[in-house]
A = this chain, B = another copy of it.
Amino acid sequence: MFRSNTCGELRLSNAGQTVTLAGWVQTIRKFGSITFIDLRDRYGITQLLFSESLNEQLEATPLGREFVLQVTGTVSERTNKNNQIPTGDIEILVNSFKILNKSATPPFTIQDDTDGGDDLRMKYRYLDLRRNPLRKNLELRYAVGRSARNYLHEQQFMDIETPFLIKSTPEGARDFVVPSRMNAGQFYALPQSPQTFKQLLMVSGYDRYYQVVKCFRDEDLRADRQPEFTQIDCEMAFVEQEDILQMFEGLIKRIFKDVKQIDYTETVARMSWEDAMWLYGNDKPDIRFDMKLCNLKKPGTVFLQKEDHSALVNGVDFKVFDEAETVLAVVAPGCSEYSRKQTDELTEWVKRPQIGMKGLVWIKYNTDGTLKSSVDKFYNEDRLRAIADASQAKPGDLILILAGQEERTRKAISELRLHLADSLGMRKPDEFKLLWVLDFPLFEYAEEELEGKGTIGRWVARHHPFTAPKPDHISIMIENDPVIRDRDNYLAHPYSGIKANAYDLVLNGNEIGGGSIRIYQRELQEKMFAALGMDAHEQQEKFGFLLGAFEYGAPPHGGIAFGFDRLCAILGGSESIRDFIAFPKNNSGRDVMLDAPGEIDEKQLKELFIQSTADRP
């Protein structure tokens, strides 16, 4: 062993002991004839004191930043104590030292606030990982994983590994594939998730399964996606939705407790998908703050059960609202005194291409009770007051209204809501609010161009094809023909109203987990596949093993998967999952440190029975 202690463990009570430490040179400070060095390892920093007697050796073998150093010396009380670090009461009076390895000057400083740019730090990831913020992220990640495993173990879950070289059944996302050398012309796929395997394990009787497992999706990468990512993947048999909700809010509460020392004792909020869309404009609302939306005008065909306030905005010949599919308002509390500059900035903000609105209507509900708006021409004060009341605004508030096409407007107002909350300091990083979103639609409507047949309307599974409908809705699914004959009226199709036995767990506006009760009857599964446009042959070819398994006593079951990378990022107070992955890829799916992917030998290709069709440079 190269050391007797780590750089984080010595205290005043160790004074007088002879110790050997090994670590990296963080800083070197010379004061006259003595030299102070901060020695760093994963556990902390310890100050070393080199007295004059070592100067000759220090000059013969000079030290530099990031050198790997081994020292032997005596633990001594410091005169100048540093109460910022746990070892700050002591220093090591060095008797002897040895350079275990030299270091070139790092391309950026190994400090909390480094001077290295993103690309440089990705290339030298092994140096970036030395920095405290990244070390803390990986430690948090390990703590989250360990906490989850402990909880699941105590709940009698079993970690069972599922295979990585499986069959390609592209549904939704694209598969990564792996050419087989032993089966000419054939390919494995890497799993997008262990979904069907965990269901087979339920059929096999392993009634509580979990796995912390890598998954793979070959999608175009957005800012915060990785081609390989990690899930905490869980499945249970003999359960209903309520059992799953309780089990897994328990899991997250345990992680809060173990990792963040937070007792999350309050009841986890629940909301239907329809309410989430109606009140927040999206299916993963951040409920750390209120600011519910007001649906001034809903599109005629959706939210059948909900009442809008269209009477308040109609009838004044304001074309922007009259022509809009939907009109939505959000209240910025206490912002009635925003200046022209500030409301202009908000307008510019919603006009950015990422948001894509044409403009913004504002109403100031002044503290004296009067109202003023950017549409005074069209709406008199009574009308404005009525809109303000409908929006539940109070004197002193600012009401912001967006109008346009349903989906875009809803998305925009929900972004605007977050933007306002951010600028008002309402999204506190140390506050955590959980929310179950329930009762998703089972199907989504999609249009597809078919060669020679023009556009057709079809159903896609909103979650995945293994999700069960609500028990009451099974018969709607079985008894109706899924074919959409009238595209303009797809909302009238009985399948539109079928709700899924599915649930998402949302934390501070981020979906951290999602799952469903699964179909476990062959007949219903076949109906689902058929609804998605798969004929019997295709069903058998792709999912014959699962349909077969359902014939031999499949139990009722359901599960959930948590995005481990994202969960860690949110618990770490960050939006970037990359900072919580040891060796992430960039937005082109490249590992710039390894310079991967790369070209491979013709010989390798030949053995795999494939040829590259790319132009060689």
Contacts and interface: CB of A to CB of B under 8 A. Distances in A.
Interface in A194-234: 197, 200-201, 203-207, 214, 216, 218, 220-221, 227-228, 230
Contacts of A553: 24, 66-68, 101-103
Interface in A354-390: none
A346 interface: no
A34 interface: no
A428 interface: no
A485 interface: no
A140 to B, nearest CB: 11
B177 A608 contact: yes
A481 interface: no
Contacts of A158: 138-139, 142
Contacts of A1: 238-240, 243
Contact of A556 (B100, B142, B149, B182): B100
Interface string A65-96: 01110000000000000000000000000000
Nearest to A614: B185
Interface string A135-152: 100110110011001000
Interface in A528-572: 544-545, 548-556
A463 to B, nearest CB: 22
Interface in A157-173: 158-168, 170
A130 interface: yes
Interface stretch (A292-300, A508-516, A588-596): A588-596
A490 interface: no
Contact of A165 (B138, B228, B240, B552): B228
A594 B127 contact: no
Contacts of A164: 164, 190, 214, 216, 228
Interface stretch (A256-264, A321-329, A440-448, A597-605): A597-605
Contact of A183 (B104, B582, B589): B589
Nearest to A203: B126
Nearest to A157: B142
Contact of A180 (B145, B549, B597): B597
Interface residues of A, number: 123
Contacts of A585: 163, 165
Contact of A205 (B42, B183, B206): B42
A590 B227 CA distance: 25
Given A200-B126, A582-B161, A583-B197, A597 B187 contact: yes
Given A101-B521, A101-B554, A604-B177, A596 B166 contact: yes
A183 B597 contact: yes
Contacts of A176: 165, 178, 188
A187 B101 contact: no
A520 interface: yes
A611 B608 contact: no
Interface of A: 1-3, 22-24, 40-42, 66-68, 100-104, 106, 124-127, 129-130, 135, 138-139, 141-142, 145-146, 149, 153, 158-168, 170, 174-190, 197, 200-201, 203-207, 214, 216, 218, 220-221, 227-228, 230, 238-240, 243, 520-521, 544-545, 548-556, 581-583, 585, 588-591, 593-600, 604, 606-616
Given A163-B228, A185-B615, 18 more contacts: A1-B240, A2-B555, A40-B205, A41-B207, A42-B207, A127-B552, A138-B158, A141-B160, A161-B214, A162-B582, A166-B594, A167-B596, A167-B597, A168-B598, A177-B178, A178-B178, A186-B597, A186-B614
